[in-house]
Amino acid sequence: MAMAKVPILVAVALMAAVASCSAREPNICMPLAEVAATAADDAVAPLIHALRPLLGSGGQLGSHGGVPCDSWRLGVEAYNVRDWKMVPANCEGYVGHYMLGSHYRRDSKVVIDQAIAYLDSLRLAGNGKEVWVFDIDETMLSNLPYYATHGFGARPYNATSYNAYVLEGSAPALPETKRLYNKLLTVGIKPVFLTGRTEDQRAITVANLRRQGISGWMYLLLKQPGFKGSAVIYKSGERQKLQDAGYVIVGNIGDQWSDILGAPEGARTFKLPDPMYYIG
Ligand SMILES: *[C@@H]1O[C@H](CO)[C@@H](O)[C@H](O)[C@H]1NC(C)=O
C-alpha cells in the first residue's frame, strides 16, 4: 500500500508540471514544489481541468474524432483492451509517431532498465540451469520497417506481405532488448527464444538474428506445424517443458501479454510496448 502512493504522487506532479504554466492565467507559473504541495492538498481536480487547453479536444492526443488514442494505447498496454484486431483508424498517425519518434524507445528503455535492475538484484546459482525466455517479434527483432509501410497496424493483417517481409530476414534488433540479452550472457544466464514463428521459418530466423549480431542462445523454440492452441497454451506449455527439464526461468520478456501469461510464467515477467497488434 505504501508503495502505491509514490507513482500516484509522481503522476500528479507530472500533470501539475504541465498544467502549471497553462491554466486560464498563463502568465502565472507556479514553482513545481508549490504545485506538488497544492496537489497534495486535494486540489487535483481543478488542475486536471486546467490541462484541457494543452491536450486539445478532451485530451485526445493524435485523435481526429473517435477513440482518444493515448487512452487507447494505455488500455492496450495494461491489458484492459483485449482481442483487438486493428489499431483504430483514427490512431494510425498517433501510433506512427509513437513508434518512429523517441517515445517507443523511451518506454522500452524503462522496461529494460527494470529488467537489468532485477538481474543485478539476483543471487544466481550459476549452475548453467538458469534461463531467460525471449519472444522474438517486437521483442528481440523489430518489424517496424514492415509496419511503417502498412499502416502501423491500422490496416487488416496481410499474411502474404507480412510473411514475405519475415523471409527477407532483415528485421533490425531492438537495441534495448539487445542490451539485456548481452548482459545475460555475461552473467551466465542462457537466453531461450520462444516465438510464434513456425518451424519452417527457423533458417531465416537464425540468419536474421545472426545478421543483427545476436548469438549464444541455448534454444530457439518455434511453433510446430499443425499446432492449433492459443499463444498462451503454446508458450506456457514450452516453458513447462523447460522447467521439467530442470531449467529455472529467472525472467521472461515479450511484447504481448500472451508471452508472459500462463504458468509457469517465469520468476519475473517484463512487458515491452506494442501498440501495433494483438496476439491472444
Ligand atoms: C496482401 O499482400 C499481397 C502482397 O503484397 C498483395 O498482392 C495483396 O493484394 C494484399 N492483399 C490485400 C487484401 O490487401
> What are the pLDDT digits (tens) for 49-86?
444 444 433 345 566 678 899 999 999 999 999 999 99
Q: Averaged over 196-204, what is the pLDDT?
A: 98
Residue 280, pLDDT above cutoff 50: yes
Pocket probe mutation, ligand 1, options 147, 155, 157, 160, max atoms within 8 Å of Cβ: 160
pLDDT, residue 61, reads: 59
Q: At the topology level of CATH, where does 105-142+171-271 sit?
A: Rossmann fold (3.40.50)
* Residue 163 neighbours by CB under 8 Å, 6+ apart: none
How far, in Å, from the CA of 162 to the mean position of ligand 1? Answer: 9
Q: Averaged over 188-205, what is the pLDDT?
A: 98
Which residue's CA is the closest to the ligand 1 atom numbered 3? 161
How far, in Å, from the CA of 175 to the mean position of ligand 1? Answer: 31
Q: How many angstroms separate the CA atoms of 99 and 106, rounded?
A: 10
- Quick check: CB of 163 below 6 Å from ligand 1? no
Q: Which of 196, 148, 135, 143 is nearest to 165 (CA)?
A: 143
**Sheet order of strands, 248-254 included:** 219-223, 190-198, 130-134, 248-254, 269-271
> What are the pLDDT digits (tens) for 122-176?
999 999 999 999 999 999 999 999 999 999 999 999 999 999 999 999 999 999 9
> What are the pLDDT digits (tens) for 206-245?
999 999 999 999 999 999 999 999 999 999 999 999 999 9
Atom of ligand 1 nearest to the CA of 159: 1
Q: Any idea where the domains of the chain sit in the sequence?
A: 1-44, 105-142+171-271
Beta bridge partners of 248: 130
- Quick check: CB of 80 below 6 Å from ligand 1? no
Helix (H, G, I), strand (E, B) or coil at 266: coil
Q: Is the pTM of this model over 0.75?
A: yes
Which residue's CA is the closest to the ligand 1 atom numbered 4? 161
Residue of higher predicted confidence among 11 and 115:
115
> What are the pLDDT digits (tens) for 71-124?
999 999 999 999 999 999 999 999 999 999 999 999 999 999 999 999 999 999
- Quick check: CB of 182 below 6 Å from ligand 1? no
Which residue's CA is the closest to the ligand 1 atom numbered 10? 158
Strands (E), 93-247: 130-134, 190-198, 219-223
